[in-house]
C-alpha cells in the first residue's frame, strides 16, 4: 500500500524535469564520440518527483533494460526474478553502470590524468578518446557528464560542433526580414538596416513588426530579459531559492549527469568517475529525501503497520517507537519481527564455543581438542608457521586459517614489506615522484610526502582537487546545515520560534489541528499532527 500510494502521488507531480539538460548532454556525447548516445541507466521501478523527462524512468534502459524492468515488477509485487550482473560482465572498469536488475554498479574511479570514457567505461587519456572520435577541438564528455577538452582553435578559426575540427569562421548574412545590429557569428556585428515607418525592430529577435507595448507581468515573464514589444528590453528580475531562469521562467537547476547515472534525485552521492562528492539537490517542500530519492507521503502509525514493539520505519523516512512486550513475551520471540510472542529457545547451531539461544540465554556448545580453536562454530587447527599459513610470504602478518594471525619475519636493509606492490614480500620500495591530485599533500608510497600545490584564493583542496565551496546564499538555503561541496559543512542559520527547517533549507511554520479532530492531519511541513478526539454531539 505504501509503495502504490507513493507511485500515485509522484505520478501526479511529473513536470518538465530535466528534459533540456538530458537532450543537451546526449547530443554533445553523440557528437563527441561519433556513436549513438548511450541509454540512461534504469533505476528502481518507483516513480519519484524527479522522474519527469528522464529517459527510461520506470521501465529500464537498454543496458540490461529487460532484466531491469522485470526486477522492478518483482519489487512492486510481481513474481519475476533477476540476477544482477557484475562490472566485469558489463565490460566496465570505471564509472556507474546498470546491474541489469534496476540497481547501479560503481565500477571504480580513474587515476589523475585519465578519465572514465563514456563510450568504453575504461580509464583513458583525453587524447585517446579525442583521437578515437576524430576530434581536434571542442569537448568530449566523460561517464559522469564532465567535459574534457580536445583542444582549441587558432585565431580566426572556430570549432565545428558537427565535425569536431577547426575551420575558418564564415560570417552570417542578414536575413530578408532582419533589422538592427545582428551578431555575424564570428565576433562582429551586421547592420541589417532600419524598419519601415510605423514598425519597430524587436531587440531580441531582430525582426520588424508593429509596436505593441507589454510588461513582464503581462508577458508572464518571471525573470531575465524580454522584449518590450517596441524595440526596447524589459528587465524581469532574477530567481531566488536556488532556482535558475529558463525562457523567462524560474525552474529548478538541472541535476548533474552523475546524479542521473546513479538515479539520485536528491542528497549527496560519490562520483563514480572521480570519487568526489556530488550534490544532487533537495526535495520540494513537504517531501523527504530517502536513499537519494524524494518521497511525499503520510507517515504510518504502529497500529497501521500491525506491529507491537520495537522500532520500525514510518514509511516516510522517520522512525516509530512501538513500545515493549510484557513477560513472558518478547519482541519477535515467535519469529515475527516487531510482534510480541513467546520465545522458543534454539539449540546449538555449531559444535563449539558459545551461542545465543535466541531468547536471551547463552548456550555452551562444546570445546575443541588441544591445539585447536573454535572458529565460526567449528573446531579448527591453526597453521603453525608463516610458511605453512601462506607459502611464499616473507614479511608482515598472514591469517592462520582459524581467525587469528601469524607475524612473519621483518625485512632487512633497504627492503620494505610490499614495497613494490606485492603483499607479504620484501621488495625495494619505489616512491612515486608525481602527484595523483593537483593540490595538498600525498604519500609517495614509501613513507615520504609529496607536496602537490596550492589552490587559488577562495578555493579549498578536496580529495586532491581544487574546489570552490558553495555558500548558503548560493544554494538558496536560510537554515540547517549542508555540505559546501568541498568536504566542509555550512551552517545556514536557524528558524524562528515554532518553525521547522525543511530539507530544502527553508523555514516552515507548521499548521495546528484547529477544527480538525479524531484523525491525523498533515501539518504542511512534512509532519503529522495527532489531533484530539472529537466530542460527541
How far is 516 from 534, CA to CA, in rounded Å?
Answer: 8
- Taking CA atoms, 371 is separated from 374, 384, 391, 396, 414, in Å, by 10, 10, 21, 24, 38
Each residue of 229-244: pLDDT tens digit? 888 889 999 888 667 8
Separation CA 535–CA 537 (nearest Å): 6
Asked if 247 and 236 touch (Cβ cutoff 8 Å), the reply is no
- Three cell numbers at 126? 583525453
Residue 400 CB neighbours (<10 A): 21
Whose cell is 547515472? That residue is 261
Question: Which residues, other chains included, contact 291 with Cβ-Cβ below 8 Å and sequence gap of 6+?
Answer: none
Burial 499-513 (b: 16+ CB within 10 A, else e): ebbbbbbbbbeeeee
Q: Measured on CA atoms in the order 135, 137, 138, 144, is the torsion positive or negative?
A: positive
Q: Alpha-carbon distance 492 to 469, whole Å?
A: 14
Distance CA 199, CA 218 (A): 21
DSSP 481-516: EEE-SSS-EEE-----TT-EE-TTS-EE-----TT-
Residue 390 DSSP one-character state:
S
pLDDT at 11: 37
How many angstroms separate the CA atoms of 8 and 372, rounded? 60
> Could you tell me the CA-to-CA distances from 424 to 128, 388, 395, 408, 430 in Å, in that order?
36, 14, 5, 8, 16
pLDDT, tens digit, 9 for 90 and up, residues 243-264 = 788 889 888 777 888 898 888 8
Distance set, CA 358 to CA 196, 237, 351, 363, 374 (Å): 92, 66, 17, 10, 20
- Tell me how crowded residue 257 is: count the other CB atoms within 10 A of its CB: 24
Nine-digit cell at 453?
600545490
Half-sphere exposure at residue 92, Cβ-oriented, CA atoms within 13 angstroms? 25
pLDDT of residue 45: 27
The C-alpha atoms of residue 118 and residue 470 are separated, in whole angstroms, by 28
DSSP 410: P
For residue 470, the SS3 value is coil
pLDDT attached to residue 175: 87
Show Cβ contacts of residue 194 under 8 Å, excluding neighbours closer than 6 positions: 179, 180, 201
pLDDT for the residue numbered 377: 92
Q: Could you tell me if 86 and 49 are in contact, meaning their C-beta atoms sit under 8 angstroms apart?
A: no
One digit per residue, the tens of pLDDT, for the chain of length 537 reads 333 333 333 333 333 333 333 333 333 333 333 333 333 333 322 223 333 333 333 333 333 333 333 333 333 333 346 888 899 998 999 988 888 887 888 888 888 778 888 888 888 888 888 888 888 888 888 888 878 888 888 877 888 777 788 888 888 888 888 898 888 877 788 899 999 888 899 988 899 989 888 899 888 989 999 999 888 889 999 888 667 888 898 887 778 888 988 888 888 898 888 888 888 888 877 777 878 888 777 778 899 999 999 999 887 777 888 998 887 888 888 888 899 988 888 899 999 999 988 777 899 999 999 999 999 999 999 999 999 999 999 999 999 999 999 999 999 878 888 888 889 999 888 888 899 888 999 988 777 889 999 999 888 998 889 998 889 988 888 898 888 888 888 899 888 888 888 877 888 888 787 766 766 666 777 666 677 767 665
Q: Is 178 helix (H, G, I), strand (E, B) or coil?
A: strand
Distance of CA 127 to the CA centre of its chain: 28
Expressed in angstroms, the distance from the first to the final Cα of the chain is 34
The confidence score (pLDDT) of residue 379 equals 96
Helix then strand then coil, in percent of the chain rounded to 5, is: 10, 25, 65
Q: So where are the chain's domains?
A: 2-168+258-295, 194-250, 299-336, 478-537
Positive/negative CA dihedral, 248, 251, 255, 256: positive
Amino acid at each position: 500500500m505504501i509503495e502504490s500510494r507513493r507511485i500515485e502521488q509522484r505520478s501526479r507531480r511529473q513536470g518538465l524535469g530535466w528534459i533540456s539538460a538530458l537532450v543537451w548532454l546526449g547530443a554533445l556525447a553523440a557528437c563527441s564520440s561519433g556513436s549513438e548516445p548511450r541509454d540512461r541507466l534504469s533505476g528502481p521501478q518507483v516513480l519519484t518527483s524527479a522522474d519527469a523527462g528522464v529517459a527510461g524512468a520506470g521501465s529500464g534502459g537498454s543496458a540490461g533494460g529487460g532484466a531491469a524492468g522485470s526486477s522492478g515488477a518483482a519489487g512492486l509485487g510481481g513474481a519475476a526474478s533477476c540476477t544482477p550482473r557484475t562490472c566485469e560482465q558489463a565490460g566496465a572498469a570505471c564509472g556507474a553502470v546498470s546491474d541489469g536488475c534496476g540497481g547501479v554498479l560503481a565500477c571504480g574511479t580513474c587515476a589523475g590524468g585519465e578519465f572514465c570514457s563514456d563510450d568504453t567505461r575504461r580509464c583513458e587519456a583525453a587524447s585517446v578518446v579525442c583521437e578515437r572520435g576524430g576530434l581536434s577541438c571542442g569537448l568530449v564528455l566523460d561517464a559522469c557528464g564532465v567535459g574534457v577538452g580536445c583542444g582549441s582553435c587558432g585565431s580566426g578559426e572556430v570549432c565545428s560542433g558537427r565535425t569536431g575540427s577547426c575551420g575558418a569562421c564564415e560570417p552570417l548574412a542578414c536575413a530578408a526580414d532582419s533589422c538592427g545590429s545582428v551578431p555575424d557569428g564570428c565576433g562582429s556585428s551586421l547592420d541589417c538596416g532600419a524598419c519601415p515607418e510605423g514598425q519597430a525592430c524587436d531587440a531580441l529577435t531582430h525582426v520588424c513588426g508593429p509596436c505593441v507595448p507589454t510588461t513582464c507581468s503581462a508577458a508572464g515573464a518571471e525573470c531575465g530579459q524580454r522584449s518590450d514589444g517596441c524595440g526596447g528590453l524589459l528587465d524581469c528580475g532574477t530567481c531566488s531559492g536556488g532556482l535558475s531562469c529558463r525562457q523567462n521562467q524560474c525552474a529548478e537547476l538541472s541535476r548533474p549527469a552523475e546524479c542521473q547515472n546513479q538515479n539520485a534525485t536528491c542528497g549527496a552521492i560519490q562520483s563514480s568517475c572521480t570519487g568526489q562528492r556530488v550534490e544532487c539537490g533537495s526535495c520540494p517542500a513537504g517531501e523527504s529525501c530517502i536513499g537519494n530519492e524524494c518521497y511525499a507521503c503520510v507517515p504510518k502509525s504502529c497500529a497501521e503497520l500491525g506491529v507491537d514493539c520495537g522500532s520500525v520505519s514510518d514509511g516516510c523516512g522517520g522512525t516509530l517507537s512501538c513500545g515493549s512486550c510484557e513477560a513472558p513475551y518478547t519482541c519477535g520471540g515467535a519469529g515475527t519481527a516487531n510482534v510480541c510472542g513467546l520465545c522458543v529457545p534454539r539449540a546449538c547451531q555449531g559444535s563449539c564455543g558459545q551461542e545465543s539461544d535466541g531468547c536471551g540465554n547463552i548456550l555452551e556448545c562444546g570445546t575443541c581438542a588441544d591445539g585447536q580453536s573454535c572458529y565460526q562454530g567449528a573446531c579448527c587447527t591453526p597453521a603453525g608457521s608463516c610458511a605453512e599459513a601462506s607459502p611464499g610470504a616473507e614479511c608482515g602478518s598472514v591469517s592462520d586459517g582459524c581467525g587469528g594471525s601469524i607475524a612473519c619475519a621483518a625485512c632487512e636493509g633497504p627492503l620494505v614489506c610490499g614495497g613494490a606492490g606485492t603483499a607479504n614480500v620484501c621488495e625495494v620500495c619505489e616512491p612515486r615522484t608525481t602527484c595523483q591530485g593537483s593540490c595538498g599533500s600525498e604519500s609517495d608510497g614509501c613513507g615520504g610526502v609529496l607536496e602537490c600545490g596550492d589552490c587559488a584564493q577562495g578555493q579549498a583542496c578536496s580529495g586532491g582537487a581544487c574546489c570552490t565551496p558553495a555558500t548558503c546564499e548560493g544554494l538558496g538555503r536560510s537554515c540547517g546545515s549542508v555540505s559546501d561541496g568541498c568536504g566542509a559543512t555550512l551552517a545556514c542559520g536557524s528558524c524562528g520560534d515554532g518553525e521547522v527547517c525543511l530539507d530544502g533549507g527553508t523555514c516552515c511554520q507548521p499548521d495546528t489541528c484547529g477544527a480538525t479532530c479524531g484523525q491525523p492531519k498533515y501539518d504542511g511541513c512534512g509532519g503529522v499532527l495527532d489531533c484530539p478526539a472529537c466530542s460527541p454531539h
